[in-house]
Amino acid sequence: MKIRMKKISSLSVWFVLLGFVLTTVMVLNVSPVSGQKKPLVDLNSASEKELEALPGVGPATSKKIVANRPYKSVDELSKAGLSTKTIEKLKPLVTVGSTTPPKESVTKAPAPTAPAKAASATTAPSSVKKSPPPSTKLAPGQKVNINTASKEQLDALPGIGPVKAQAIMDGRPYEKIEDVMKVKGIKQGEFNKIKDLIIVK
């Protein structure tokens, strides 16, 4: 009786071990299958090689799928020439992603170009405004009386600005044109430029 009990107990141990082995094998067999189902191929972003790996899709068909993007649903694969049977096979393996992000980036790009044009438009009139002042020039043959000329007439002389024009007016009267060199800032060089344009009367 004792021998029989030992045999039964050893058999029960073997059965338990076999049960553990079978359960582990089942778990190992199920896990890779579930792992294959998780990664779905996006019809709107997958490469041609990824599409070729799908059942019933070859190189030519993958090019057609890429050419007919974007897809709103898996059923739209009929545009690429796929039959309804192959589409049904692909439904559990593929998905359709959204294609909205690239459109937003395109709309944001032209925005900074507008202020650049506005800036160039604002700089243009400023340069136009600066050009009129030098138009006040002496007429050919005209001479300026440094004792009676206005500040604007003196300012029109070459090398004489508003500051020197005011200094000339403050130093009046002058007996001869060379007396202008007594004014600060007017030396021989400046005098040579204006000596033929000024008179004293």
Instruction: Return the bridge partners of 144, or none.
Output: 198
**DSSP element (H, E) containing 196:** none
How many helices and strands in the chain, by DSSP H and E?
9, 4
Cα distances from 120 to residues 20, 108, 110, 123, 126, in angstroms, run: 81, 21, 17, 5, 10
Contact 41, 95 (CB under 8 A): yes
pLDDT band at 3 (very low <50, low <70, confident <90, very high): low
> At residue 116, what are phi and psi to the nearest 5 degrees?
-65, -40
Domain boundaries, the chain: 41-95, 138-199
Q: Do domains 41-95 and 138-199 have the same CATH topology?
A: yes
Residue 39 preceded by cis peptide, ω within 30: no
Burial class (CB in 10 A: 0-12, 13-18, 19+), 71: buried
Decide which of 3.40.640.10, 1.10.3230.20, 3.30.70.141, 1.10.150.320 is the CATH code for 138-199. 1.10.150.320
Give dist(CA 51, CA 172) in Å, integer.
97
Residue among 110, 171, 116 at smallest CA distance from 146: 171
Contact 55, 83 (CB under 8 A): no
Q: Is the pLDDT of residue 92 over 80?
A: yes
The percent of residues above 90 in pLDDT, for the chain, comes to 15
Q: Is the pLDDT of residue 73 over 50?
A: yes
Mean pLDDT computed over 89-107: 66
What is the pLDDT, as a whole number, of residue 101? 45
36 DSSP 8-state letter: H
What is the pLDDT, as a whole number, of residue 1? 54
Question: What pTM, to 2 d.p., does this model score?
Answer: 0.33
Burial class (CB in 10 A: 0-12, 13-18, 19+), 33: exposed
Mean pLDDT computed over every residue of the chain: 75
Task: Compare 22 and 134 and report the one with higher pLDDT.
Answer: 22
Residue among 75, 68, 67 at smallest CA distance from 94: 75
Say which CATH topology domain 41-95 has.
DNA polymerase; domain 1 (1.10.150)
> At residue 32, what are phi and psi to the nearest 5 degrees?
-65, -30
What is the pLDDT, as a whole number, of residue 165? 92
pLDDT tens for 19-63 read: 776 766 565 554 444 444 557 888 888 888 888 888 888 888 889
